[in-house]
């Protein structure tokens, strides 16, 4: 009886396993045939009623059947898992002929491009680039530039002081004074000083506590205001267009005498008056002058022998005018939507 039942069970199980389509069904079949409430358990329970002679024979057969079914289930399981993997692989295959994703390519920052353009122009006229510390001493930032103690520009409110004698430079002029000094009273000195400078200011559309400056300095025998005019005319035409004219207006800086402000004829309206030049036909671009004799003397040059011109400009202002940028903070907040408008070589 039991023997027959076991053979029948084996046959049924084989049949069921063969027809199984997925892992869930296979699991159900395993529970159905071999589980606690299944026929196999039932048969094992009935073993106790068997005679001594029958028990080992049936026991052995039952074990064989159980192992046989278990083996078939394992086999089927592997088969199904392999099929699943195969299907997954065929679905996820990579099409190597598809075009690749474009990697974002960076570009020069507009402010850097403007500064390099100015530098290159002056290098072409025989100037060298001189760069120096942004943390300066009171001596080089003020004293050597004819800004004596008690000068209003030294007000604690206007600068970032690290101690009584050390501050973040308020202009690039200290580097000009350092370069003059390094020449031990012998010209020519012909330099451009670009770099970051700092003022205590509340940031708004036209002010920033950190900004850039480009200063120029030319000291030699017989350097005259007309040399300054010539060099600045070349600069104005290079940056703002070949038909620009310049004009100089009297001004004041402690480190130059005489001092001037330079305007260019409006590049938008050509001088008739528009909203860029506020109806005047002229746009203020930079400050300049002849190096003050005190400055020359303090840096080791004899003002009876040497003279020179100097100028200072804000590259942010130059870039804002040239490219119609309305807020200086665009240069520092690095929003790629702003920056990518100026992607060029």
- Interacting residue ranges for ligand 2NL, rule: CB under 6 A: 173, 176-177, 213, 215, 217, 253, 255-256, 286-289, 291, 295, 310-314
Q: How far is the CB of 136 from ligand 2NL (least distance, A)?
A: 13
Q: How far is the CB of 100 from ligand 2NL (least distance, A)?
A: 47
Query: Of the two residues 73 and 310, which places its CB atom closer to ligand 2NL in the complex?
Result: 310
Q: What is the DSSP string of 204-242?
A: -SS--SEEEEEEEEEEETT--HHHHHHHHHHHHHHHH-T
Nearest 5°: the CA angle 332, 110, 238 is 135
Q: How far is the CB of 123 from ligand 2NL (least distance, A)?
A: 19
How many other C-beta atoms are found inside a 10 Å radius of the C-beta of residue 144?
A: 22
Q: How far is the CB of 102 from ligand 2NL (least distance, A)?
A: 41
Burial call 265-289: b when 16+ CB within 10 Å, e when fewer: bbbeeebeeeeebeeebbbebbbbb
Query: Of the two residues 141 and 265, which places its CB atom closer to ligand 2NL in the complex?
Result: 141
Q: How far is Cα 125 from Cα 340, in angstroms, rounded to an integer?
A: 31
Q: How far apart are the first and last CA of the chain?
A: 93
Q: How far is the CB of 296 from ligand 2NL (least distance, A)?
A: 8
Q: How far is Cα 56 from Cα 64, in angstroms, rounded to an integer?
A: 12
Query: Of the two residues 177 and 277, which places its CB atom closer to ligand 2NL in the complex?
Result: 177
Question: Are the beta carbons of 259 and 287 closer than 8 angstroms?
Answer: yes
How many other C-beta atoms are found inside a 10 Å radius of the C-beta of residue 241?
A: 13
Query: Of the two residues 187 and 312, which places its CB atom closer to ligand 2NL in the complex?
Result: 312
Nearest to 313 by CA among 203, 234, 238, 211: 211
Q: How far is the CB of 193 from ligand 2NL (least distance, A)?
A: 8
Q: How far is the CB of 308 from ligand 2NL (least distance, A)?
A: 8
Instruction: Give kind and range of the element (H or E) at residue 172.
Output: none
Nearest to 276 by CA among 240, 238, 329, 248: 240
Query: Of the two residues 65 and 115, which places its CB atom closer to ligand 2NL in the complex?
Result: 115
Q: How far is the CB of 306 from ligand 2NL (least distance, A)?
A: 12
Q: What are phi and psi of 189, to 5 degrees?
A: -120, 125
Query: Of the two residues 58 and 291, which places its CB atom closer to ligand 2NL in the complex?
Result: 291
Query: Of the two residues 110 and 175, which places its CB atom closer to ligand 2NL in the complex?
Result: 175
| CA distances (Å), origin 167, targets 81, 127, 156 | 72, 28, 10
Residue count (the chain): 345
Q: What is the DSSP code (8-state) at residue 342?
A: G
Query: Of the two residues 176 and 307, which places its CB atom closer to ligand 2NL in the complex?
Result: 176
- CB-nearest residue to ligand 2NL: 312
């Amino acid at each position: 009886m039991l023997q027959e039942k076991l053979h029948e069970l084996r046959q049924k199980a084989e049949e069921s396993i063969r027809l199984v389509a997925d892992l869930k069904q296979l699991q159900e079949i395993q529970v159905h045939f071999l589980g606690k409430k299944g026929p196999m358990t039932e048969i094992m329970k009935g073993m106790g009623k068997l005679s001594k002679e029958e028990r080992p024979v049936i026991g052995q057969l039952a074990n064989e059947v159980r192992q046989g079914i278990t083996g078939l289930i394992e086999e089927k399981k592997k088969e199904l898992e392999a099929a699943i993997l195969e299907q997954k692989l065929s679905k996820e295959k990579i099409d190597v002929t598809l075009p690749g994703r474009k990697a974002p390519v960076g570009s020069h920052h507009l402010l850097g491009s403007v500064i390099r353009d100015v530098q290159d122009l002056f290098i072409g006229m025989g100037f060298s680039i001189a760069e120096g510390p942004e943390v300066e001493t009171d001596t080089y930032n003020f004293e050597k530039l004819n800004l004596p103690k008690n000068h209003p520009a030294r007000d604690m409110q206007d600068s970032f002081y690290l101690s009584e004698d050390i501050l973040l430079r308020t202009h690039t002029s200290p580097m000009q004074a350092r370069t003059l000094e390094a020449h031990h009273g012998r010209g020519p000195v012909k330099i451009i000083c670009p770099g970051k400078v700092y003022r205590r200011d509340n940031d708004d559309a036209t002010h920033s506590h950190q900004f850039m400056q480009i200063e120029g300095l030319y000291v030699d025998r017989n350097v005259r205001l007309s040399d300054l005019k010539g060099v600045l005319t070349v600069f104005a035409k290079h940056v703002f267009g070949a038909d620009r004219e310049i004009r100089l207006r009297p001004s004041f800086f402690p480190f130059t005498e005489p001092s001037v402000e330079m305007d260019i004829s409006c590049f938008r309206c050509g001088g008739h008056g528009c909203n860029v030049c506020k109806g005047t036909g002229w746009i203020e671009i930079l400050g300049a002058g002849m190096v003050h004799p005190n400055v020359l003397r303090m840096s080791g040059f004899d003002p009876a022998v040497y003279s020179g011109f100097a100028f200072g400009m804000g590259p942010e202002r130059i870039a804002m005018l040239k490219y119609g940028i309305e807020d200086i903070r665009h240069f520092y907040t690095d929003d790629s939507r702003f920056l990518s408008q100026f992607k060029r070589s």
